[in-house]
Amino acid sequence: MESIFVLDIGTRTVMGLIASLEDGKLSVSHLIYKEHKTRSMLDGQIHNVEQVTQIVKEIVQEIRSLSGLELKKVAVAAAGRALRTVRGTAKVKFPVGTVITREDVLSLELQAVQDAQLALPKNQGYIPLSQQYYCVGYSVVEQHLDNITIGSLVGQRGQDADLQVVATFLPRIVVDSLQTVVEQAGLELFSITLEPIAVANLVLNPTMRRLNLVLVDIGAGTSDIAVCGDNTVSAFGMVPMAGDEITEAICDAYLLDFNVGEQVKRNLTDENITVTDVLGIEQNLKKSEVLTTLVPAVDSLAEAIAQEIYGLNGKTPQAVLLVGGGSLTPGLTRSLAEKLQLPENRVAVQQAGKLNNVLNLPPDSLGPNFITVLGIAYTGLTCPTMGFVSVNINDIPVRLLNIGKNTVAEALLAGGFNLRDLYGRPGMALTFEINGQMVSIPGKMGTPGSITLNGEPAQLNNTVRQGDKIIFTPGKPGEEAKATYGEVLKDYFGFCRVNGKNVEIKPVVKTGNKIISLEDNIVDGSKAEVVTKQTVKDVLAEAGFLGGSTEVTVNGKVLSLLDMSLCTINGKKAKLDDQVAPGDHIYFEPVKNLTVDNFLPGTVTKGTALQVYVNGEKVALQQGEKIWVNKNPAERTTPVQPGDEIDYQFCDKKFPPILIDIFNKINFSPNPPPGKTRLLLLVNNEEKEYTYPLQDGDKIEISWT
């Protein structure tokens, strides 16, 4: 019957144990423990290396003396206080119609674990995080599909999937430190596990693990938490509060030394406790008063544990098992049940003496504070492979902590391989705005990668063993999305006919005031304005009818020749700014054979004066004319071309005449008659100013008032 030697170094005590398996049960041969003489450890951390080392050596020497064994190998456990629990997320976009498989979800979970790993402290910046931490477990807390919370992604159809995990990591330096302590004590490390796992292996038998149970190991400095469900231990956590907080509350209330306060806490089974405080005053403490004093501290500890359980489990568990010396704190089970909204009988303290799979426990070792050391022994005996598993990935040796059933995924994670590369990342999407609306074009899907295990095709959840060889071939990323504006706006293209000729109608793309070619590639993040409606003028320009100048300037005023042309849409007269739709028929006839006469006022003809009436008498104005084209003398019959500049005058004055011009044509005395002072000027019965322009046939009345 092979025995195992175990060391459990705790905040308050160090325990040594020799045990063996007897018909599948743990049989204890020797169990001794010693308390630290001073507070050489606080909250699970060593503060005085020499004192801790000394007490460890004393335990080893005493066990050797009692057992007569040489004790070369030892089993240890890393405390839960060293665990780092962080959250990570991962997202993926599936092609339309994809049925999400368990393998897809597992890959997404592990990507989230890697995301969580990035949040860990980088103790050694030049060493990859995968080589600074072991991942010892994770649990999925949230899953979403197309922005809807969902219980499980497996078997669902959708495009945008994401999930969040709570992952737990153990710093490798902790393992290395334990190994160093063991070596300095003259021992060899036989196996290593985590305290929460060791306790779970002993207390939670396989049939219990299908239930959603939480195991809390409350020591002196920390409270370690393990969550189980679906036949596995899925998550670990730690609260840096435990029995010492209760002791300190007693010390603060009654001015006691820490060791005295610890004795008061352990003697709370007595109705009256006599102590001497730090001032030398003797006090007689009543149990009921002390318990009342401890309520805030107990509630605070319960609240911290409950919040960590919610964070790890995402919901209220079915039951909670408490172990460790701190689990004996009065009122803790009741307070924790309230915080978790559980019946009080669903939060229970597990006693070592009541474990069915433990034999020959000494009478003084039956409490919950002895379960951790027993769990380390049980785990070391029932899981002989505990320790490390070495595998080879792409000819690179990778060591991972063997905490149970190790998988290909965990090996890749430990090796620092990016699991996002397994399926081949899709190419980058092209995202841009058109007329204020966001448009996104997905990149092409990548080419899946492959995994082989010892030469055979493998999945992420395949089990790996010592010496296995893994070949990981990353997938190839997809091409980035590319598109031109012409490709994106192809539905806006069409044809109309101009004078029987097909003319393509194209959208116009602008960024600011700059017109972009439809052949240009769209830039990611760009914003463009697209004009999809075109006018007659736009189509005529596309058809080539508007080449060169289309304007003439007359006496400084710009006139459009297009307005003088004949234009119809589908047989109806049209204007240049009318809109054109695909399929329209446009007829356009440019104006031809233009002369100066086409641009002179229609009321004036050569040799004819402008006629007005002044106080009933006909008066002729403006006889003769002067015309220039492009500054050169011209006649009415002079041809006019687009771009020409025409100037003309009638009667040496610029046409048309104004009201004051009539005084040069009539006899009018500027002196008013007696009693009159104001000159009244009426044009067509309306009073006008001297500068009023006259038209042919105007009736003018002049009088003094």
Highest mean pLDDT among 164-178, 229-243, 349-363: 349-363
Burial (CB < 10 A; 0-12, 13-18, 19+), residue 541, is: middle
Q: Tens of pLDDT along 71-103?
A: 888 888 877 666 777 888 989 888 777 889 888
pLDDT-derived band at 385, boundaries 50, 70, 90: very low
My answer on whether 576 and 650 are in the same domain is no
Q: Are residues 200 and 306 in the same domain?
A: yes
State residue 604's pLDDT score: 47
Task: List 681's β-bridge partners, or say none.
Answer: 702
To the nearest 10 degrees (0 to 180), the angle between helices 195-203 and 371-382 is 80
Give the pLDDT confidence of 217-265 residue by residue, as tens digits: 998 878 888 888 877 777 778 888 888 899 999 999 999 998 899 889 9
**pLDDT tens for residues 387-428?**
667 889 998 888 776 655 678 888 887 777 877 777 777 778
Whether omega before 601 lies within 30 degrees of 0, making that bond cis, reads no
Q: How far apart are CA 190 and CA 192, in angstroms?
A: 7
Average confidence score pLDDT of the chain: 83
The answer to whether 28 and 4 are in contact (CB under 8 A) is: no
Tell whether 679 is covered by a domain: yes
**Cα three-residue angle 302-303-308, rounded to 5 degrees:** 100
pLDDT at residue 289 above 80? yes
Q: What is the CA radius of gyration of the chain?
A: 49
Is residue 284 in some structural domain? yes
Closest by Cα among 44, 42, 33 to 10: 44
Query: 425, 449, 482 — which closes off a domain?
Result: 482
> Are 241 and 333 in the same domain?
yes
Identity (one letter) of the amino acid at 118? L
Structure confidence at residue 125 (pLDDT): 55
Give me the DSSP letters along 77-111.
EE-GGG-EEEEEEEEEEPPTTPBPPHHHHHHHHHH
399, 439: one domain: yes
Q: Over 305-353, what HEC string results?
A: HHHHHHHHHCCCCCEEEEECHHHHCCCHHHHHHHHHCCCHHHEEECCHH
CA 522 to chain centre: 25
* CB proximity list for 541: less than 8 A, separation 6 or greater: none
Q: How confident is the model at residue 30, as a pLDDT?
A: 92
Q: Are residues 372 and 477 in the same domain?
A: no
For residue 334, the number of C-alpha atoms closer than 13 Å in the C-beta half-sphere is 5
CATH number, residue 268:
3.30.420.40
Whether 175 shows a pLDDT value over 80: the answer reads no
What is the four-CA torsion angle of 241, 247, 248, 253, rounded to 10 degrees?
Answer: 140
Parent domain of 525: 485-589
Q: Alpha-carbon torsion 649, 650, 653, 657, what sign?
A: negative
Q: Is residue 127 part of a domain?
A: no
Same-domain check for residues 520 and 451: no
What long-range pairs does 206-210 form, CB within 8 A, spacing at least 24?
A: 206/231, 209/233
pLDDT for 129: 61
Structural domains of the chain, count: 4
**Which carries the bigger pLDDT value, residue 292 or residue 604?**
292
Share of the chain above pLDDT 70, in %: 91
> For position 128, what pLDDT does the model report?
60
Cβ atoms of 195 and 83 within 8 Å: the answer is no
Q: 146 lies in a domain?
A: no
Q: What is the pLDDT of residue 622?
A: 58
Q: Is 350 in the same domain as 393?
A: no
pLDDT at residue 109 above 90?
Answer: no
Q: Cβ contacts of residue 578 below 8 Å, gap of 6+? A: 535, 536, 569
pLDDT value for 605: 47
Residue 439: pLDDT over 80 = yes
Q: Is the pLDDT of residue 374 over 90?
A: yes
Percent with pLDDT over 90 in the chain: 22
pLDDT band, residue 295 (cuts 50/70/90): very high
In a domain, 416, yes or no: yes
Higher-pLDDT residue of 193 and 392 is 392
Mean pLDDT is lowest, of 16-30, 90-104, 452-466, 649-663, for: 649-663
| Total-model pTM | 0.54
Judge whether 154 lies within some domain: no
Q: How far is CA 25 from CA 232, 251, 351, in A?
A: 21, 41, 16
Q: Looking at the predicted structure, is the pLDDT value of residue 565 above 70?
A: yes
Six-digit token pair at 321?
A: 């098992």
Q: Are residues 518 and 492 in the same domain?
A: yes
Q: Is residue 609 domain-shared with residue 650, that is, in the same domain?
A: yes
Structural domain contains residue 76? yes
For the record, the structure tokens of 361 come out as 């426990």
Higher pLDDT, 636 or 609: 636
Say yes or no to pLDDT of 303 above 90.
yes
Q: Are residues 646 and 507 in the same domain?
A: no
> Per residue in 127-163, pLDDT tens?
666 567 777 767 787 899 998 988 889 999 888 899 9
CA 227/CA 96 separation, integer angstroms: 36
Judge if 499 and 415 occupy the same domain.
no
pLDDT at 304: 95
523 and 428 Cβ atoms separated by less than 8 Å: no
Co-location of 443 and 493 in the same domain: no
Tell me which of 482, 513, 542 is where a domain ends. Answer: 482
User: How many residues does this entry show for the chain?
Assistant: 705
CATH code, domain carrying 501: 3.10.20
Single residue among 382, 397, 431 that ends a domain in this structure:
382
Residue 378 maps to a domain: yes
Q: Which residues of 564-590 are buried (b: 16+ CB within 10 A; e: fewer)?
A: ebebebeeeebebeeebeeebebebee
